[in-house]
Amino acid sequence: MVLTDNLMTYLVEVMLSHLAFTCALLLASVAAIRRFIRESYRVGGFGQKHVFITGCDSGFGNLLARQLDGKGLHVLAACLSEEGAADLAAATSSRLKTLLLDVTDSESIRRGVQFVSREVGERGLWGLVNNAGRSIPIAPTEWTKLEDFTKVLDVNLIGVIDVTLQFLPLLKKAQGRVVNMASVLGRLSLIGGGYCLSKWGVEAFSDSLRRGMQQFGIKVSIIEPGFFKTAITSVELIDTDLRRLWTRLPQEVKDSYGETYLEDYVKAQEFSMGILCSTDISKVTRCMEHALTAQFPRTRYSAGWDAKLFWIPLSYLPSCVSDFVVNMLLPSPKG
């Protein structure tokens, strides 16, 4: 009893002697508890809500479609291939409907809007998830051509904008949600090619969309995952594409990098991906689900330990620091 009294007395003395720190700690604790409670509230009526998701053949879109279907929402899953659509339909309930859609084709999107409009009726569309994307070509900027940029931008950015604009009337009816897939590479540009550019563009588009649509009751969330192993980020796919880009370079450019640069670059990427990449893509889809089902969704969601603890903090540091860290991860030319 005496020991307990002494301990309490000591703690009180410490708190009084560090009053500012104690107050800050208490405020932070109250804010964290309030945020946890606020984010735990969910919207109701899942059985009356429709969610349209692009890029459901595999990866995040596929898992999210199955996840939401299991929660009782009406999922409208857009796939690029008939095989992807058939596999998803076979793995889900009869509530889930699939359709073929190419986000780079405005006419395909228009047909998708007509399909979704018939499904949702006057209720409108509760959720739009812009998930479809591509990663390659990813390489040092000098290795790329203009068409390498447009291939990625057409899917990751222009496609997102086109889909969103065409679906906005249905979203306004339901005062629904837009969830856009960005990346930590929309905060910190690590590599050449169109991927980082496209994700920075998604960040900017989402911010302007959110501010413009607030008065109509539409909420916009951005998902910023770290590095995850999916079909579009496999080491084998990136490795193969790097070698393709290298073979088309003029000999003069190859010489400026050195004979071993390609292999050094591939090994550095494999090493970084091996350390940083997570196989648990549900970390991302849980964020997407929360953005669609929470009464108070976040504006931004970071998914993965590398996003929270490394990439996003690094993006706030001075450029000289982030440049140094990024350069440490990649080989230097030896030409």
Catalytic residue numbers read 195
Q: Let me know the angle formed at the C-alpha of 103 by 100 and 105, rounded to the nearest 5 degrees.
A: 90
- d(C-alpha 188, C-alpha 200), whole Å: 9
Q: Give exposure, 43-62, as e/b (b: 16+ Cβ within 10 Å).
A: eeebeebbbbbbbbbbbbbb
Residue 76 has phi, psi (to 5 degrees) of -115, 105
Q: Are 123 and 174 in contact (CB under 8 A)?
A: yes
- d(C-alpha 331, C-alpha 262), whole Å: 9
DSSP bridge pairs for 35: none
- Strand pairing of 97-100 and 219-225? unpaired
Q: Are 11 and 25 in contact (CB under 8 A)?
A: no
CA 300 and chain centroid, separation: 10
- d(C-alpha 312, C-alpha 316), whole Å: 7
Q: Are 79 and 59 in contact (CB under 8 A)?
A: no
Rg (C-alpha) for the chain, rounded Å, is 23
Of the candidates 189, 225, 235, the residue with the CA atom closest to the CA atom of residue 303:
225
